[in-house]
Amino acid sequence: MHPNPAFRQTPPAAALALAAARGFGVLCVNGAEGPLAAHVPFEIADGFVGLHLARSNPIVRAGLPCPAVMIVSGPDAYVSPDWYGVPDQVPTWNYVAVHLRGTLEALPDEALRPHLDRVSANFEGRLAPKIPWVADKMTEGVMNRMMRGILPFRLVLGSVESTVKLGQNKTEAARAAAARGIAGAPLGLDAAGIARLMDG
């Protein structure tokens, strides 16, 4: 997390909401031979982060339960010093990030299907007016065969930290000017998201 307190004012509940809206992150634990990381979709409810991993993922054999962190990245963008409209600025990067720390635990096999159904329902619900995909559309037996390759886990939340770096250490005019610069530059969709956050 960024050390400047200006970028760390987001309340934990709001940071959790940011993470839940993203729904995808990097799970990190310490392994016997060094750090291990897995990119995973997840759900957040009741103080837990629910997730699943392939049976072959090294984290499965990392000696659970163990300390873990889920890193969730929001939008980000390069900021040119020219955009501020004031002298003596330097290049920087504005971004949103949430770290969910806690203890990673294995769950019983019967927790897998309800978890998968909730995760898919969450993301399918975002595609409206598309009719949501449901596992019942699959040929009988196929879902159960595919589920043999994955296992359910949960991260028991201990702390929520966030950095929402949007130029809060600049004047309002400089921030607005930088937001316009980002919005007008060919930096991609993440940059558009940062520009909206800076300007909002």
pLDDT in tens, 157-186: 999 999 999 999 999 999 999 999 999 988
pTM for the model? 0.91
CATH number of 5-109+148-194: 2.30.110.10
Check if the beta carbon of residue 36 is closer than 8 Å to that of residue 76: no
pLDDT 10s digits, 47-67: 999 999 999 999 999 999 999
CB 115 within 8 A of CB 9: no
| Residue 171 backbone zone (phi > 0: left; psi -120 to 50: alpha; other: beta) | beta
* pLDDT band at residue 188 under the 50/70/90 scheme: confident
Q: Looking at residue 119, what is its pLDDT?
A: 97
Cα dist. 42→34, 88, 163, 167 in Å?
24, 42, 20, 29
Q: pLDDT, tens digit, for every residue of 70-99?
A: 999 999 999 999 999 999 999 999 999 999
Alpha-carbon span 31 to 37, nearest angstrom: 9
Residue 32: per-residue pLDDT: 86
Instruction: Read off the DSSP letter of residue 166.
Output: S
Cβ neighbours of residue 76 under 8 Å, at least 6 residues apart? 93, 94, 95, 96, 190, 191, 194
The residue among 120, 117, 92, 35 whose CA lies nearest residue 69 is: 35
Percentage with pLDDT > 90 across the chain: 86
Beta bridge partners of 49: 44, 155
Report the pLDDT value the prediction gives residue 76, as an integer from 0 to 100: 93
Report pLDDT digits (tens) over 137-151.
Answer: 999 999 999 999 999
Residue 190 scores a pLDDT above 80: no
